[in-house]
């Protein structure tokens, strides 16, 4: 079956061109939808393990940048219509009978949203486990699939600073091993066969660093995440902006359904293989050198291959990664990597450093929303008191912020000095 569009990701971004949604968010939301549609059923075989397209993407920007709005087209209007409620079977009244028209009755997609505990997510994954007969045979092991996409419009509703167990669970889900044993506090032990979690979340810079577990670096969660940071100006809305047509939504839905029917290993085109291999041996230059990305760099090759799988699937069902797919993957990733340190700037700081980071992020956002360049000191102190309950620490904290180059104080007004905080 031929696709309606040459590239699902590009078509999704084009459909909302002219909207207040930043282009990077439109691209990465659509890319996450492709990764979720592929699930565990498509992979690239490395020497000792398989790499799947599932991603942990977090869209990060100050308030008012339409982070959650970017999820509407690829997930609310397209992806969700190819899903059925967790735990339902073909015979259930609540089963999505609309899957028939897309040929997905036997292999529906699954999505869970917003507030969910790791215990509930693990239980849900046991309810969607299917034996995929297309990938099972006497000559191979049985192929089980428990793929699910998690969409959290507010990062903090799922991830918390002290969620050590949750991050252990998430790292195992990203790895997508053959099975995962999960112990719950109240319901005993669950065995998830063929787990594969694809995650898309939204956060402000403050929410992101405030809710990342303190040991996210050492435990490997941070290296598995792709923080997509946007600090551009807010794109104004317009009354003449066109609504995405029903025909476009239908066409995108049909193409994503086609992607969801793919299964089996990916390969690189012969010409692409040589260049990709050379790139990987050279560290896919330019390799990030920022200290904030030291852990991410350790899994950088896996991230690039994951994206390349999704980019290829976005364009064709041949399960072959072409050179143009790899070049676009590098374009996307290099742009994302350039901004990543800004997303992580407040993480791992001491108490004063975190307060300074949070305050200047708030200050920049407030001034931008009100079209101003500075703020009265009394208003700045009022907000600071929410983070520094002891009034005696106010002046000390303000001086530390000024000395560190976060703010500049002139008389009774405060100017932000760091837009990237």
339 and 355 part of one domain:
no
Helical residues (DSSP H) of 261-409, grouped into ranges: 270-281, 294-298, 300-315, 323-343, 351-370, 377-384, 394-403
Q: Give the per-residue pLDDT at 361.
A: 84
Q: Give the per-residue pLDDT at 421.
A: 47
128 and 76 part of one domain:
yes
Tokens representing 134 are: 């297309």
Task: Provide the domain limits for residue 389.
Answer: 351-416
- Collapsed DSSP state (helix, strand, coil) of residue 229: strand
121 and 170 part of one domain:
yes
383 and 318 part of one domain:
no
Residue 163 lies in a domain: yes
306 and 386 part of one domain:
no
Residue that terminates a domain, selected from 343, 362, 390? 343
Instruction: For residue 398, give the CATH number of its domain.
Output: 1.10.10
318 and 232 part of one domain:
yes
Q: Give the per-residue pLDDT at 158.
A: 86
Residue 421 lies in a domain: no
Question: Between vectors from CA 206 to CA 200 and to CA 207, what angle results, nearest 5°?
Answer: 40
Residue 282 lies in a domain: yes
180 and 265 part of one domain:
yes
222-240 pLDDT tens trace:
999 999 999 887 777 766 6
The residue ranges of the chain whose pLDDT is under 50 are: 420-421
Structural domain total, the chain:
2
On the 0-12 / 13-18 / 19+ scale of CB atoms within 10 A, 53 is buried
Tokens representing 197 are: 């979690």
Q: Give the per-residue pLDDT at 296.
A: 94
109 and 193 part of one domain:
yes
DSSP 76: I
41 and 119 part of one domain:
yes
Residue 2 lies in a domain: no
Instruction: For residue 100, give the CATH number of its domain.
Output: 3.40.50.300
Contact call for residues 112 and 121 (beta carbons, < 8 A): yes
pTM recorded for the entire structure:
0.84
Residue that terminates a domain, selected from 326, 343, 360? 343
Residue that terminates a domain, selected from 343, 361, 388? 343
Contact call for residues 299 and 325 (beta carbons, < 8 A): no
68-116 pLDDT tens trace:
999 999 999 999 999 999 988 888 888 998 999 999 999 999 999 877 8
209 and 336 part of one domain:
yes
CA–CA distance, 326 with 219 (Å, rounded to integer) = 29
108 and 240 part of one domain:
yes
103 and 176 part of one domain:
yes
Which of these, 144, 140, 163, lies nearest to 39 by C-alpha position? 144
Q: Give the per-residue pLDDT at 420.
A: 47
Interacting residues of 232 by C-beta distance below 8 A, sequence separation 6+ = 22, 65
User: To 10 degrees, what angle do helices 23-38 and 323-343 make?
Assistant: 120
Q: Give the per-residue pLDDT at 403.
A: 82
């Amino acid at each position: 079956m031929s696709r309606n569009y040459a590239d699902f990701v590009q078509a999704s971004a084009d459909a909302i061109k002219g909207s207040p949604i930043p282009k990077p968010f439109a691209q990465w939301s659509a890319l996450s939808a492709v990764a979720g549609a592929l699930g565990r059923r498509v992979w690239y075989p490395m020497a000792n393990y398989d790499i799947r397209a599932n991603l942990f993407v977090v869209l990060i920007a100050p308030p008012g940048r339409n982070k959650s709005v970017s999820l509407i087209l690829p997930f609310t209007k397209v992806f969700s219509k190819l899903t059925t409620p967790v735990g339902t079977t073909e015979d259930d009244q609540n089963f999505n009978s609309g899957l028939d028209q897309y040929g997905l009755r036997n292999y529906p997609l699954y999505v869970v949203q917003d507030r969910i505990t790791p215990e509930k997510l693990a239980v849900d994954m046991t309810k969607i486990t299917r034996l995929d007969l297309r990938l099972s045979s006497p000559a191979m092991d049985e192929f089980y699939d428990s793929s699910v996409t998690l969409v959290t419009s507010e990062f903090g509703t799922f991830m918390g600073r002290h969620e050590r167990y949750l991050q252990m669970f998430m790292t195992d889900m990203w790895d997508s091993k053959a099975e995962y044993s999960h112990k719950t506090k109240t319901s005993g032990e669950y065995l998830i066969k063929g787990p594969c979690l694809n995650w898309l979340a939204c956060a402000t810079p403050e929410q992101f660093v405030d809710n990342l577990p303190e040991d996210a670096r050492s435990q490997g969660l941070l290296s598995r995440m792709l923080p997509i940071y946007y600090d551009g100006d807010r794109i104004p809305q317009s009354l003449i902006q066109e609504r995405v047509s029903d025909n476009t939504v239908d066409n995108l839905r049909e193409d994503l359904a086609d992607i969801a029917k793919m299964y089996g290993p990916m390969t690189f085109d012969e010409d692409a293989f040589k260049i990709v291999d050379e790139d990987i041996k050279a560290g896919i230059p330019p390799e990030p050198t920022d200290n904030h990305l030291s852990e991410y760099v350790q899994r950088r090759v896996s991230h690039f291959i994951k994206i390349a799988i999704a980019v290829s699937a976005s364009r064709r069902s041949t399960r072959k990664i072409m050179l143009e797919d790899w070049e676009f993957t590098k374009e996307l990733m290099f742009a994302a990597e350039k901004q990543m340190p800004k997303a992580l700037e407040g993480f791992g700081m001491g108490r004063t450093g975190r307060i300074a980071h949070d305050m200047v992020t708030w200050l920049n956002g407030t001034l931008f929303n009100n079209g101003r360049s500075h703020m009265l000191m009394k208003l700045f102190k009022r907000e600071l008191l929410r983070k520094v309950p002891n009034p005696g620490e106010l002046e000390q904290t303000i001086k530390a912020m000024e000395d560190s180059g976060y703010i500049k104080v002139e008389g009774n007004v405060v100017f932000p000095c760091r837009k990237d905080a």
